[in-house]
Chain A
Amino acid sequence: MGSRAIMLLRANPQLFSFRSSAFPKAFQSKKRFYAAKYSLEPPDVPSLAEKARISLTPKQVEEFAPKIRQVVDWFGQLQAVDLQSIEPALRADTEGDNLRDDVPQVFDNRDAIIGAVPNYEDSYIKVPKVLNKEE
């Protein structure tokens, strides 16, 4: 899906310059590359919205579905690249392990964090009652 394309994008920053100005242009361009379109499944917008906890009216689903599909297909152009003999890069490579020693350090501005919590009472973060883990 789109996330795989995003992975590829992050791993190979030279392939696409992800400047905000470049994006809308490709989006509106009439010269679109359709080669990879039919190998990607159309996105299930209601399901996506549910997983992202975004509520959409049926009208909005209808409106957004083709737009989301266009974005996915645009990334889908990457499928034209021959990656047969290439190992997937999972991340932009960093030097070394980037490990930390097990030494405690109390964060010095806890008050600011707590102060930014919208609903804080009796030392607890107050949240609506949610009983079941629904994904």
Chain B
Amino acid sequence: MALTLLRGIHSNCFRLYPSVYVARKHVRHFRVRSSQGQTAMQEKQQTQLKASPKSESAKYEEVLKNYEAVIGIETHVQLSTLTKAFCSCPYNYGAHPNTSVCPVCMGLPGALPVLNSKVIESAVKVGLALNCKLSLSSKFDRKQYFYPDLPKGYQISQFDIPIAAGGYLDVDLPVEFGGGHRKFGVTRVHMEEDAGKLLHTDNGSFSQVDLNRAGVPLLEIVSEPDMRTGTEAAEYAAELQRLVRYLGVSNGNMQEGSLRCDVNISVRPHGQEEFGTKVEIKNLNSFSSVSRAIDYEILRQAQLHSQGQADQIVQETRLWEEGSQKTFTMRKKEGLADYRYFPEPDLPGVNLSEEYISTIRDSLPELPETKRRRYETMGLNMQDVLFLANDINVAAFFDATIATGADVKLAANWIMGDIAAYMNNEKLSIDDIKLTPQELGELIASIKGGTINGKIGKEILFELVAKGGTVKGLIQEKDLVQIADPSEIEKIVDKVLANNPKQLEQYRGGKTKLQGFFAGQIMKETKGKANPALLNKILLEKLNAKP
């Protein structure tokens, strides 16, 4: 009983305080516990807790259930173009500081920007993938402010006429958080340039600027305030990552900074139409931080509301601190910033033709949402669907394997199981392994057709994945054809029984568990090639026969 209580309290702490990143074997991206999604297990624990004094966690539940969180996310996606947005400087993450610069990206007098055509292409791809209306005629504007990492003293961006607006993103919540489908609105997508990198020395009265990144193209994607929980927000971000990787416009890496998320969050009492005071949270470096920071902030704001101190919530920017798992005030906003926007006179307007848009639309790959729906109709369960559709290359591998006629569920199992395990161990992507979809199809067919048994199949798979080769070739080379001839198996069973008289006696005396021992010995004799079902049938017959 005490143990159950302990377990109950323990997991409640996990749930309501910032959660731990739970690693899953075959899932690539972060999975996080959320404060929502009461499972049967948690409800059971709550009833058991009733007997104990009102714990911290129960108090938090009280507070949280009266309020609704309203969450929106601003995402900056760094495009993986070869050159910067407005000059031909190459961009390579991790290059030596200030090696990829020129008068344009350094903002030297007289330098003029020239737009990289790939930037428009990427923006249109993303706009279409997010189901937006494209602006056939948009423009660039100057966003003016002073900061050491902004060489020109202004950022070239798009203010009032973004290239795409009014779209949405379909998201499937992970199975472990209750699953479910969500549709989150996308307010706008626009093009802009990145600033350089500013590094602060710990001591010292100076900072350091690296302009390699200045001028790198970004797409800013602003969502509608449609998310309600940390989990929803994290999944929205994860789906954006999936999308930009599918489209090949960015590596969408939060740790490297090619995908950056700022969260806007407010709470309001249930039923209230008015939004509460909005707080911005920055410095989120992973999807799990997004989720945990939101959970923390919802609680912080809800508690202030419930204590009658809602006026303590001010419109400000807070930083998420990974170490303490809390948000802290960065600075209070002293009025809104005046960026003195005006149209960029050095750049022509961005005009899109219907023809251009059609060409791009036709070149789009099957998007994650469409793929997930298709996999569902193929009879796969949601967990399989989410795994297979997560990485476009894995999905392609799966599709190619199915195309050879292989059984859908078996193909999914092999990819999600042994193949994924190998990729994780060796830190390889599916394009790096030596196994081809055709050979996987052949392997599945060989097992199904009875040429080899499952265990041998696993061994062959390992060889194929690591070294390549063909299924047929390996079967022949190593003489792996399954032994399914009953008379042959009988001979071996007899031999093994004869060689182990003591165990036979013990078995007949009642120690029936020894069947496993005999089965193992027989398998060893056949070098693993015996058909397991047939083996056990014949073995059982002989064991139970009258001596």
A residues sitting closer than 8 Å to B (CB atoms) are: 3, 7, 10, 51, 53, 90-92, 94, 96-107, 110, 113-114, 121-135
Q: Are B348 and A97 in contact (CB under 8 A)?
A: yes
Asked whether A113 and B89 contact (CB < 8 A) given A123-B97, A129-B200, the answer is no
Which of B82, B339, B345 lies in contact with A135, CB distance below 8 A? B339
Asked whether A104 and B90 contact (CB < 8 A) given A99-B117, A130-B207, the answer is yes
Q: How far, in Å, is A112 (CB) from chain B's closest CB?
A: 10
* A114 to B204 alpha-carbon distance, docked (Å): 23
Asked whether A104 and B207 contact (CB < 8 A) given A53-B146, A124-B97, the answer is no
0 or 1 for each of B337-373: is its CB under 8 Å from A? (1 = yes) = 1111011010111110000000000000000000000
| Chain B residues positioned under 8 Å from A102 (CB to CB) | 81-83, 116-118
Name which residue of chain B comes closest to A6, CB basis. B342
Name which residue of chain B comes closest to A101, CB basis. B117
| Chain B residues positioned under 8 Å from A100 (CB to CB) | 83, 88, 114-117
Q: Are B88 and A133 in contact (CB under 8 A)?
A: no
Provide 20 A-B residue pairs closer than 8 Å at the C-beta atoms, listed in order of the A residue.
A91-B347, A92-B345, A94-B348, A97-B115, A97-B350, A100-B117, A103-B88, A105-B88, A106-B100, A107-B102, A124-B209, A125-B208, A125-B209, A127-B207, A129-B201, A130-B147, A130-B207, A132-B330, A132-B331, A134-B146
Q: How far, in Å, is B282 (CB) from chain A's closest CB?
A: 11
Top 8 A-B pairs ranked by shortest CB distance? Answer: A124-B208, A107-B102, A104-B90, A105-B88, A102-B118, A99-B117, A125-B209, A135-B337
Which of B102, B108, B115, B342 lies in contact with A99, CB distance below 8 A? B115
Name which residue of chain B comes closest to A119, CB basis. B206
Asked whether A124 and B199 contact (CB < 8 A) given A98-B114, A129-B207, the answer is yes
Q: Are B348 and A51 in contact (CB under 8 A)?
A: no
* A111 to B139 alpha-carbon distance, docked (Å): 34
| Chain B residues positioned under 8 Å from A94 (CB to CB) | 348
Name which residue of chain B comes closest to A10, CB basis. B345
Which of A7, A132, A135 lies in contact with B342, CB distance below 8 A? A7
Chain B contact patch, size range: 35 or more
Which residues B206-250 have CB closer than 8 A to chain A?
A: 206-211
Which of B88, B96, B337, B348 lies in contact with A98, CB distance below 8 A? B348
Q: Does B517 contact A (CB under 8 A)?
A: no
* A135 to B237 alpha-carbon distance, docked (Å): 29
Q: Are B139 and A90 in contact (CB under 8 A)?
A: yes
* A103 to B120 alpha-carbon distance, docked (Å): 15
0 or 1 for each of B82-112: is its CB under 8 Å from A? (1 = yes) = 1100001110000011111111001010000
Q: Are B206 and A129 in contact (CB under 8 A)?
A: yes
Q: Are B103 and A113 in contact (CB under 8 A)?
A: yes
Q: Does B487 contact A (CB under 8 A)?
A: no
Q: How far, in Å, is A32 (CB) from chain B's closest CB?
A: 27
Q: Are A104 and B98 in contact (CB under 8 A)?
A: no
Q: A90-B343, A114-B98 are in contact. List 5 more A-B contacts (CB 8 A).
A: A90-B139, A97-B348, A107-B89, A126-B207, A134-B146
| Chain A residues positioned under 8 Å from B269 (CB to CB) | none
Which of B116, B120, B210 lies in contact with A124, CB distance below 8 A? B210
Q: Are A103 and B207 in contact (CB under 8 A)?
A: no
Q: Are A113 and B348 in contact (CB under 8 A)?
A: no
Q: Are A113 and B106 in contact (CB under 8 A)?
A: yes
